[in-house]
Amino acid sequence: MPLDESRKHPPPPRNSSVQKQPLCVTKVFYLFIFNIMHMYLAGGCGFGIYSTLFGHHLTDAISNNGAYLTPTAIDLTSFDLGTYVDQQYLPAMMTVAIKKIYGIVFYCSAAIAVVFAVAHIPAVRNGLRKVPLWSVYAIDYLARLRRK
C-alpha cells in the first residue's frame, strides 16, 4: 500500500528556532561579484605594496652592503664581475630584502592577532560599540536628505 505524500516528509515544526532560509540567486550573485572584486583588488593592492617594499629594501640592501665588494680582496685579473654580481651578489641582496619584508609582515600580523585577541575578551568585547548594518546608515542618510 503506497504512502501518501504528506506522510513521506513530516512538516517542519512551527515554533522551531532554526529555520532554513531559501538561498536567493541574487544573494549568490552578489556574493560571487564581491568575492571576485575582493580577490582582484586585494591582489592588486598587495602586489603594489609588496613590489614597492621590495624595490625600496633591495636598493637599501645594495647601498648598505655595497661595501662588501672591496677591491682589496679581489684578484682583478681572474675575477669576472658580471658573473659575480649576477650569481652571488644580487641573489644575496634579494634575500636580505625579502627577509626584511617578511619581518614587517610578521610584525603586522602579530599586531593584528593581538588586537583580535584583546577584542575577544568578554569585558572588552561588551564595551565595544556595535557597528550597525549598512541599511541603518542608509536610513539615517535618507532621513537627513529629507530634512533638508
**Residue-level pLDDT at 125:** 76
- Please indicate, yes or no, whether the overall pTM of this predicted structure exceeds 0.85: no
Structural contact between residues 82 and 114, judged by C-beta atoms closer than 8 angstroms:
no
Residue with cell 675575477: 79
Residue with cell 685579473: 77
Q: Which residues of the chain are under the pLDDT cut of 70?
A: 1-25, 67-74
Q: Return the C-alpha cell found at 7.
A: 506522510
**Residue-level pLDDT at 88:** 83
**Residue-level pLDDT at 110:** 96
Q: Return the C-alpha cell found at 140.
A: 539615517
Question: Distance between CA 28 and CA 77 in Å, rounded?
Answer: 69
Closest alpha carbon to 50 in 93, 90, 97 = 97
User: What value, to the nearest 5°, has the Cα angle with vertex 55 and ends 51 and 59?
Assistant: 170
Strand, helix or coil for residue 95: helix
DSSP code of residue 89:
I
